[in-house]
A and B are shown apart, each in its own frame.
Chain A
């Protein structure tokens, strides 16, 4: 009777899962029915008595488990008769264990009342080996983000939003506030100059491509690359685990020295209580707000300019003898306010910035039976950026099935699909970008080429730029877990991440007669760049457990991992369109095609032995052997060892420390690598086109080829990590403290090719050394916990000291920078640190005037400071009233670094449109007054003024959520319902005096992306506010 009732409640998707499972499960089910019973019960919060949703109750020694539903209820059927240990685990609570005796054909009840805790040593984390590994066994820190919980409380639209300001040691810098833009992510500082320092990403054990997606125009900071994580709906994520540094990531091998980020999606629940439907809807908007600031442009009309109205129309009609204050022009073109000065009139155009609407809807179904579970979801997300030609769309879904035909075998199939569409505007240094031309306007004073007050083209022209990316992404993972005996467990993961993109840039036929995008674009052009990326994962691992004498346990693991990445791209171009409507490439007068190919394969083997003693002391040793297709022909394999120790000292009988409830000490040492880029080891030529006898002909050339290095190998990151996890004051306060000291040896240094050899690029040599060290602290507390009021606090703090130890004698420094040489890789200093030029000064510090002008020795540099944050902190507060009303706020701080305000320099030197230069109150009576000299300094090539402290504090997230009382939800016949209003990037307090924001990065792609820090008309993180409703049935 009970079974037939359950069948009636299961609908569509779960029936599909049932069908998949049926063939495998039916025999086992039939056989068990006669000798098994059922365990059921509820899991509640001991203090509040409220049900705990999603708690996992498992029968130890078997694979049988169930999760609690929205009422806190669980059911485990088919449990073999006899007495079993039963364990309940829930996020944020101390685990509980009890023994239950099951009689054949009977149902036994076992309820759990769990106590909250701030430190979870029993939490199971992903480590690379099969089987459950609890945090207590780890000698290294792993930050686990409970995304399902975060997404309920915090305004997170993307995976980036999830990662930002929640993980000590993880630094995330957004490339831009544009819809669809990505972010620069690093863990424990930049450990590499040239091999990239981004962590590697896995989703449900399947590696996926996480590099920023390059497209047309993304080089040189003209267009932002699209976000590689945008295919994941945060609401589909259960948790994210951040595995930091080589000591923790050894088992991941030659790509993992910068850390590993594991995304674990939501799975079904073997609740046996039917389908749990969740529906969410969200509507919001993005705005450029006053707290971000507006660029005000000035122009002080000089008497000679007033006499030249043709060249300075804004100055026309002024009295050249009038006081300076009456000759000052002021404008704010970005705000689209009217301008009427002299012979200039500009009316509002409604074409600069807008409120960008956004919405999201998602639906998911979650459930399962005794031998299967499933999670199905679909979502639609749409966001318009503040620019009229910027938007992002996503429609996607996920299907996760888990089938357990026997207690020895488990299959899980995880499939994700997303279609994303982006349109990106011109940005940063693009001459035709809207911000650039607004920031560099001259208040209508001088004759503007296109529109009064705008520097370059008009905003209408900027908005006509059309660069769209349409992508389809599918991730598939098949995980088989086989446990032939209780002591031996095997796991095989087969996975694929496939992405098809089509990036199109379309210039309509120019009607202005002025070719604003260049002569070729004026003819009407269409270009498609179509990369197809495959990332394959084959990952086998086996673990054998054994009990040894003297209360020792052994867990021996060995495995093999194959990762292959394959990128094929096709570019087709048509130039000279007949009509804008006829915009197929084949319809153009000139057509071209190009193809690209990149392939890289890595293969690694590892073995690990973990010895445990009484579940409180663990010693782990491991070794990994890696080979990679990018290694040089003269290099074979690389070997990475690791060792770690974990001691839950509070479990010792002698442990008597007042106020401390639990304490785990941990230490880890290990190595991991960073592989070089594909094909960089080989000395090669490539083909190009040249024109001979009027025909385009093939040629072979070293240009675009590679000088290569046959000895090329992976970098080796080596790290020692020490720390402790502690809970205090009856588990009300938790502290995770970690110190790390990391060295990258054999660091890949980009060494310029010997130009006289004909190769004019650079090649890699394993000669450098980079150091990172720092502290990470995660402090969690529950100062108040009761039925009426609950207050949770989460504080993260981290530091990073980065240093280039050695170039290996290859060079003295690498100097770079946008608009001026302001950054250097230099031994003894942080990678990409800022260095400034100053004007030449006398002994008293006064600028020296030569022929009435200041001078700058551009070969003389002084160190300013690091370009990346050296300290970060975030403070999250959650205040819950009466269990229903929750107020959440997250403050985010980054500090100890500088930003190069290139746009400030350009505005002063070239546009001369700042107040500091045009201030009518300044004393310009001669060229030697302090004010006049200061203006000369500002107009000079010095960079000292414009490399500024960039410390900031932001109110990153704020939300108010009301969960409907149970009486209401019962009346509405729903399980749980909540409504929220929330916002991101609501306030900013900063030392930064630049025009833009200290939290931007100039370019998102290419070699410059890792270290170039430039504020040059990048869109700052924008304010986003929304309201949402979420209902679970």
Chain B
């Protein structure tokens, strides 16, 4: 069957060896070069032609962090909403349970970190590419302002944080080596806003200028620096408003609050016990009574917090939810009230969230609230309170600075909750008030679902913020950080 090989085994072995050698020498590199048109190497980002799309990335990554996780998941720790989500890990947020091993903490920290790194790194790239010209470029002002806001929302949501850096040229990552407190995050925000103000002023861009001013006031308010809060909030003009835009163009561009209240995946709803008040707005919240027995207002008369007149069960087939209409922080807000089923038309005069509903990130009203809170129980604050009550079709209150100081500030907090409802402020507010000794207004007692399914819906627990997630700790090479066990409570 076989014959003697006339060339000998050695020759054949030699030929084969050449083949193997050729492979080993990388002669075949050309064959293995593959294009990847869906990605761009990080080392290719230092290109002035890419500045605009990089700045868009800063705005986009902040925008799509702000609706979810920041607003939707963040507000679940508060009294702004009850959830009908079927996913139990996320549902536990509504019981004030946040585990650092689970996905919600990861989503929160990851999304804010992405927005922060984008803003910081694109700022650095713009400076690299434009040199001194950058100092009067509105695009740099924008990225700096968003860097400031990223620090602020990170401080408002996270119990603690880690910040790594990325070399804007090589893309090399330097992992963070120490933890940052919320206050240190707010302090990091301040210079970013100040730089943004400087550059926006040089670029003559008043929109970014005022965005940075409101942000600066928000950072100082969190830091308890009343003087600076008032100073910067007081500079904001009455017509200022900065909107984070959403649309129906692509699923990424959808406002997530829309998807959470529509269709069969209904997961976001209103509890009449929100805003620390009972149905008659004066009853302090003592915990969720069995849902359906609290004397709900079928037609809420304050347009800032009104909801659908008929409840439906959430996606978990358990939680009874009223769908919130767009409040004052949303672009579909009309200021009209649904006092009965015929006065205004649901869907026209009062709207549920839509895919393209914009969210006001900063405006004059927020600045006024910051100013009033920093100003304290003054006559001006009472005037402001009654202006806000009028917007909610509520009768004015007569409160006197001095004897009624506590009531003035309580009412201010109430109006702030209504004005900024579901706008991304509640978690930061509750934490600030708790941190600054004003009071602990986080929901306590039995959850509204308890009556329906007591075994799976016990009483509220005690989380006040989102812990550093496990993946961040695992990926950090620093052993002290790797072994850190985060908590979900402020001290």
Do A and B form a real pair?
yes
Residue on A with the closest CB to B475?
A: A754
B56 A696 Cβ-Cβ under 8 A: no
Min distance, Cβ A715 to any Cβ of chain B, angstroms: 18
Please, which residues of chain B bring their CB within 8 A of the CB of A553?
Answer: 2
A757 B164 Cβ-Cβ under 8 A: yes
Which has the most chain B C-beta neighbours within 10 Å: A517, A556, A699? Answer: A699
B15 A558 Cβ-Cβ under 8 A: yes
A544 contacts B by Cβ under 8 Å: yes
- Our pick among A546, A605, A687, A853 for the contact of B455 (Cβ within 8 Å) is A853
Whole-angstrom distance between the alpha carbons of A752 and B263 in the complex? 33
B34 A637 Cβ-Cβ under 8 A: no
A758 B121 Cβ-Cβ under 8 A: yes
- Our pick among B15, B16, B252 for the contact of A690 (Cβ within 8 Å) is B252
Q: Which of chain A's residues 465-489 have a Cβ closer than 8 Å to chain B? A: 485-488
7 pairs, CB–CB < 8 Å, chain A vs chain B: A520-B248, A605-B20, A607-B13, A689-B253, A697-B56, A756-B163, A756-B164
The proximity string for B residues 122-134 relative to A, scoring 1 for CB distances below 8 Å and 0 otherwise, is 0000000000000
A519 contacts B by Cβ under 8 Å: yes
Please, which residues of chain A bring their CB within 8 A of the CB of B121?
Answer: 758
Whole-angstrom distance between the alpha carbons of A707 and B475 in the complex? 12
B17 contacts A by Cβ under 8 Å: yes
Please, which residues of chain A bring their CB within 8 A of the CB of B250?
Answer: 592, 689, 696
B113 A757 Cβ-Cβ under 8 A: yes
Min distance, Cβ A440 to any Cβ of chain B, angstroms: 8
A910 B45 Cβ-Cβ under 8 A: no
Please, which residues of chain A bring their CB within 8 A of the CB of B110?
Answer: 755, 760
Please, which residues of chain A bring their CB within 8 A of the CB of B162?
Answer: 756
A486 B471 Cβ-Cβ under 8 A: no
Whole-angstrom distance between the alpha carbons of A625 and B253 in the complex? 47
Whole-angstrom distance between the alpha carbons of A173 and B35 in the complex? 36
Min distance, Cβ B51 to any Cβ of chain A, angstroms: 10
A518 B31 Cβ-Cβ under 8 A: no
B23 A811 Cβ-Cβ under 8 A: no
Please tell me which stretch of A255-263, A651-659, A888-896, A934-942 contacts chain B, meaning at least 4 of its Cβ atoms lie within 8 angstroms of it: A934-942
A10 contacts B by Cβ under 8 Å: no
Are A754 and B173 also in contact (CB < 8 A) when A431-B265, A628-B32, A684-B41 are? Answer: yes
Whole-angstrom distance between the alpha carbons of A909 and B26 in the complex? 60
Min distance, Cβ B31 to any Cβ of chain A, angstroms: 6
Residue on A with the closest CB to B163?
A: A756
Interface size band for A: 35 or more
B304 contacts A by Cβ under 8 Å: no
Min distance, Cβ A1017 to any Cβ of chain B, angstroms: 14
The proximity string for A residues 271-282 relative to B, scoring 1 for CB distances below 8 Å and 0 otherwise, is 000000000000
A756 B113 Cβ-Cβ under 8 A: yes
Min distance, Cβ A805 to any Cβ of chain B, angstroms: 19
A686 B317 Cβ-Cβ under 8 A: no
Min distance, Cβ A819 to any Cβ of chain B, angstroms: 7
B455 A601 Cβ-Cβ under 8 A: no
Residue on A with the closest CB to B250?
A: A689
A516 contacts B by Cβ under 8 Å: yes
The proximity string for B residues 191-207 relative to A, scoring 1 for CB distances below 8 Å and 0 otherwise, is 00000000000000000
Please, which residues of chain A bring their CB within 8 A of the CB of B36?
Answer: 597, 599, 678-679, 682, 684
Taking A546-B5, A688-B57 as known contacts, 14 extra A-B pairs with beta carbons closer than 8 A to each other, sorted by chain A number, are: A449-B313, A486-B3, A521-B263, A599-B36, A603-B28, A682-B41, A686-B40, A689-B60, A689-B253, A700-B56, A700-B57, A752-B472, A756-B162, A757-B175
Please, which residues of chain B bring their CB within 8 A of the CB of A519?
Answer: 258-259, 262-263, 355
A911 contacts B by Cβ under 8 Å: yes
Please, which residues of chain A bring their CB within 8 A of the CB of B156?
Answer: none
The proximity string for B residues 156-171 relative to A, scoring 1 for CB distances below 8 Å and 0 otherwise, is 0000011110100001
- Our pick among A60, A556, A697, A859 for the contact of B1 (Cβ within 8 Å) is A60
Are A700 and B113 also in contact (CB < 8 A) when A547-B4, A629-B33, A679-B39 are? Answer: no
B37 contacts A by Cβ under 8 Å: yes
- Residues of B within 8 Å of A, CB-based: how many? 98
B9 contacts A by Cβ under 8 Å: yes
Please, which residues of chain A bring their CB within 8 A of the CB of B176?
Answer: 756
Residue on A with the closest CB to B471?
A: A752
B16 A815 Cβ-Cβ under 8 A: no
Whole-angstrom distance between the alpha carbons of A609 and B38 in the complex? 44
Please, which residues of chain A bring their CB within 8 A of the CB of B346?
Answer: none
A909 B456 Cβ-Cβ under 8 A: yes
Are A455 and B264 also in contact (CB < 8 A) when A696-B253, A941-B456 are? Answer: no
B490 contacts A by Cβ under 8 Å: no
A688 B252 Cβ-Cβ under 8 A: yes
Whole-angstrom distance between the alpha carbons of A727 and B247 in the complex? 72
A495 contacts B by Cβ under 8 Å: no
B263 A755 Cβ-Cβ under 8 A: no
A575 B248 Cβ-Cβ under 8 A: yes
Whole-angstrom distance between the alpha carbons of A697 and B26 in the complex? 41
A753 B475 Cβ-Cβ under 8 A: yes
Q: Which of chain A's residues 808-827 have a Cβ closer than 8 Å to chain B? A: 810-811, 815, 819-820
Min distance, Cβ B381 to any Cβ of chain A, angstroms: 36
Whole-angstrom distance between the alpha carbons of A575 and B471 in the complex? 37
Which has the most chain B C-beta neighbours within 10 Å: A520, A595, A628, A703? Answer: A703
Residue on A with the closest CB to B318?
A: A910
The proximity string for B residues 345-360 relative to A, scoring 1 for CB distances below 8 Å and 0 otherwise, is 0000000000110000
Are A547 and B2 also in contact (CB < 8 A) when A701-B61, A754-B472 are? Answer: yes
B404 contacts A by Cβ under 8 Å: no
B63 contacts A by Cβ under 8 Å: yes
- The 4 tightest CB contacts between A and B, nearest first, are A690-B60, A752-B471, A758-B117, A518-B263
A696 B20 Cβ-Cβ under 8 A: no
Residue on B with the closest CB to A684?
A: B39
Please, which residues of chain B bring their CB within 8 A of the CB of A685?
Answer: 39-40, 42, 45, 57
The proximity string for A residues 642-662 relative to B, scoring 1 for CB distances below 8 Å and 0 otherwise, is 000000000000000000000
A562 contacts B by Cβ under 8 Å: yes
A690 B469 Cβ-Cβ under 8 A: no
B23 A599 Cβ-Cβ under 8 A: no
Min distance, Cβ A844 to any Cβ of chain B, angstroms: 21
Min distance, Cβ A102 to any Cβ of chain B, angstroms: 18
A684 B40 Cβ-Cβ under 8 A: yes
A753 B37 Cβ-Cβ under 8 A: no
A705 contacts B by Cβ under 8 Å: yes
- Our pick among A521, A595, A752, A910 for the contact of B453 (Cβ within 8 Å) is A910
Which has the most chain B C-beta neighbours within 10 Å: A554, A758, A940? Answer: A758
- Our pick among A599, A628, A752 for the contact of B474 (Cβ within 8 Å) is A752
B476 contacts A by Cβ under 8 Å: yes
B64 contacts A by Cβ under 8 Å: yes
A683 B38 Cβ-Cβ under 8 A: no
B109 contacts A by Cβ under 8 Å: yes
Whole-angstrom distance between the alpha carbons of A754 and B317 in the complex? 37
Whole-angstrom distance between the alpha carbons of A597 and B36 in the complex? 7
Residue on A with the closest CB to B5?
A: A546
A921 contacts B by Cβ under 8 Å: no
Whole-angstrom distance between the alpha carbons of A609 and B20 in the complex? 14
- Our pick among B2, B19, B45, B88 for the contact of A700 (Cβ within 8 Å) is B45
B316 A546 Cβ-Cβ under 8 A: no
The proximity string for A residues 554-598 relative to B, scoring 1 for CB distances below 8 Å and 0 otherwise, is 101010101000000000000100000000000000101001110
Whole-angstrom distance between the alpha carbons of A941 and B458 in the complex? 12
B34 A515 Cβ-Cβ under 8 A: no
Min distance, Cβ A450 to any Cβ of chain B, angstroms: 10
A1031 contacts B by Cβ under 8 Å: no
Residue on A with the closest CB to B119?
A: A758
Q: Which of chain B's residues 263-317 have a Cβ closer than 8 Å to chain A? A: 263-265, 312-313, 315-317
Please, which residues of chain A bring their CB within 8 A of the CB of B454?
Answer: 853
Min distance, Cβ A820 to any Cβ of chain B, angstroms: 7
Q: Which of chain B's residues 57-89 have a Cβ closer than 8 Å to chain A? A: 57, 59-61, 63-64, 88
Q: Which of chain B's residues 179-225 have a Cβ closer than 8 Å to chain A? A: none
Whole-angstrom distance between the alpha carbons of A758 and B167 in the complex? 12
Please, which residues of chain B bring their CB within 8 A of the CB of A759?
Answer: 114
A910 B28 Cβ-Cβ under 8 A: no
Q: Which of chain B's residues 437-490 have a Cβ closer than 8 Å to chain A? A: 453-456, 458, 469-472, 474-476
